[in-house]
Amino acid sequence: MAKGLPLQGIRVVDVTVVWAGPHCTQLLAEWGAEVIRVEPLQHVQPSTRGGEQRVTKAQVDAMRAAGQTGLGFPDWDPGERPWNRSPSFNSHARNKLSMTCDIMTPEGLDIFKRLVAVSDVVVENNVPETIEKAGITYEDLAKVNPRIIMLRMPAFGLSGPYKNYRAFGTHMEGMVGHHWLRGYPGMEPSYTGEAFTADAASGVLGAFAVTMALRHRRRTGRGQQIEMAQSENFVNYLGEYILDYTFNGRVAEPQGNLHRTHAPHGVFPCLGPDRWLALDVTSEGEWRALCRVMGDPEWTRGPQFADMRSRKANEVELNQRIAAWTKRRDRYALFRELQAAGVRAGPTQDEADLFACPQLQSRGFFEAINMPEVGEFQYPGLIFKMSKTPNHLRTPPCRLGEHNDYVYRDILKVSETEYDELKAKGHIGMDYPHLGPTAPD
C-alpha cells in the first residue's frame, strides 16, 4: 500500500526491458505509483529476467569453478524458477506487480488495451519497430485512453536513420563518446570495461519526465507522448567536451582516471591486495596540504612539481612517486588523514565494503526484503529521502505472473470463463513454457 506517497493513485503499465526502462519504473513505484509489468510467457525479453535458458545448480557451480560468475543467483542456486532469482532484475523490481499476457495476439492485445484504458502511464524502452508491430504506439493507445501518458525510451529516437538499430547500453555509450573518454591514455577503448551510465541516467530522467507530464495533465486534462532517446539524453552529460569541440575544435583524448587540468588526480594503490585510494588535488593549497601529509619529501620541491601546470606536464612521474607512498598506507586511515588536511580523497570500495560502510550503515540505507522463492537479503534502499514523506521499500521484487489474479480479476473484471480461456491459451501463468520443467542436476 502506497498510502501517503506522492504518486499514490497513479497506475503505470510497464513494458520495459534490461535496465534503463525498469529503473525508470522502479523510481515511480518507490514513490507510490502502482506499476504493473506486462510480461509475455512465450517471448523472451533479452537480458531482463534471465529467461533465455534454464540452468541447473551443477552448471552454475561449473561456471563458478571456471571463474565465470555472471549468473549470480542467491546462494548460487538457480532454483526451480531461475527467472525469479535474477539479481539484475530483482534489483529494480521491488514494489512492482507482474501480470502475464502476450500482446502479439489479438486477445492479448485486447487485454493490454483494457489495462491501458484504466491506467495513467505507459513506459517502454524497446526498439520502435517492435512497438509498432505490436500495435501499441501512442497513437494506438490514445484511442482507448486520451489521457494516457506514454514514455518511449528507444536507444536513438523514434525517427532518423538509426531509429530501429538494436542496442544495449554499451552501444549507446560508444556512440556518444563515453567509452572513448573513459579509455586509458595509450590504450584502445576495448580495455575500458563496462560502465552503463547512460542506462541509469535515462531511468532517472524518464521518471522525471513522467512526473512533469502528470503535472501537465492535471492542469490541462491532456495526456501526451514523451520521446526520450537514451543516447541524446546522455550526450548532455558530456556537454563540457562537446562544447570544447564546438568552441575550440579540440577533440578530447582518452583520460581514464586522469583529469584534464588537475594533477595529481587518479586512483592509487594502498596496503593490501587490490586496495586503492582516489585522490584529487585542485589547488596549490591542497598540494601543499598533501605534501605535509606525505612528510614534505624532498622530491616534492623539484621544479617539475612547482605548480599545477608543471605537475600536469610531469604527471607520470608524479603519480609513480605518490603511488610509492600510498602503497605502504592503509586506505581508510589515509582517507581520513587527507580529508582532515583538506585534501579530497576516498577509498575505492567493492560490494563487501559497501555493506560494511559505516556511513551507509548509520543511515540505514540497505533494507532487508524477504522474497518468496528467493529468501531474505539486503537490497539498496531509496535514492533520496523526503523530510515530510516517510518511505521505505514496501514489497519484494515481483515474481513472473505473481499478480495475475489481481490484475485480471480485480482491475479488469474478467469473467471466470474468460480467465480460464486466457489461461488455456497460454497468457496466464508463472512459468516459461519454452524452458520446460526443472532440469535435473
pLDDT digits (tens, 9 = 90+) for 243-256: 999 999 999 999 99
Helices assigned H by DSSP within 55-196: 57-65, 87-90, 106-117, 128-134, 138-142, 169-176, 178-182
Beta carbons within 10 angstroms of residue 268's beta carbon: 22
Q: How many angstroms separate the CA atoms of 395 and 398, rounded?
A: 8
Does the pLDDT of residue 162 top 70, yes or no? yes
User: In this predicted structure, what is the pLDDT of residue 440?
Assistant: 44
Count of CA atoms in the C-beta half-sphere (13 A) of 15: 27
Does the pLDDT of residue 203 top 50, yes or no? yes
3 state SS of 228: coil
Does the pLDDT of residue 126 top 90, yes or no? yes
Q: How many angstroms separate the CA atoms of 368 and 370, rounded?
A: 7
Does the pLDDT of residue 327 top 90, yes or no? yes
> What number is the average pLDDT over the span 69-86?
89
Burial class for 70, CB neighbours closer than 10 Å (0-12, 13-18, 19+): exposed
> What number is the average pLDDT over the span 1-16?
93
Q: At 215, which helix (H) or strand (E)?
A: helix 197-220
Place of cell 605534501: 291
The band of 437, judged by pLDDT with boundaries at 50, 70 and 90, is low
User: In this predicted structure, what is the pLDDT of residue 127?
Assistant: 96
**Which DSSP letter does residue 154 get?**
-
Does the pLDDT of residue 439 top 60, yes or no? no
The partner residues of 215 in beta bridges, in order of sequence, read none
The partner residues of 268 in beta bridges, in order of sequence, read 277
Residue partners of 82: CB distance under 8 A and separation at least 6:
50, 51, 54, 55, 73
Q: How many angstroms separate the CA atoms of 19 and 97, rounded?
A: 17
Which amino acid is it at 150?
M
Does the pLDDT of residue 2 top 80, yes or no? no
User: In this predicted structure, what is the pLDDT of residue 438?
Assistant: 56
Mean residue pLDDT of the chain comes to 94
- Whole-model pTM? 0.94
Q: How many angstroms separate the CA atoms of 16 and 19, rounded?
A: 8
- What percent of the chain is modeled with pLDDT above 70? 98
All three cell numbers of 342, joined, read 583538506
Domain over 265-356 is classified CATH 3.30.450.20: no
Does the pLDDT of residue 171 top 70, yes or no? yes
User: In this predicted structure, what is the pLDDT of residue 33?
Assistant: 98
3 state SS of 91: coil
Complete edge-to-edge strand list for the sheet that includes strand 11-15: 96-100, 34-39, 11-15, 121-124, 149-152, 224-227
Which CATH architecture fits 11-228+363-435? Answer: 3-Layer(aba) Sandwich (3.40)
Q: Where are the beta strands (DSSP E) in 216-263?
A: 224-227
User: In this predicted structure, what is the pLDDT of residue 1?
Assistant: 61
Which amino acid is it at 167?
A
Q: At 243, which helix (H) or strand (E)?
A: helix 239-248
Burial class for 13, CB neighbours closer than 10 Å (0-12, 13-18, 19+): buried
Domains of the chain, by residue range, sit at 11-228+363-435, 265-356
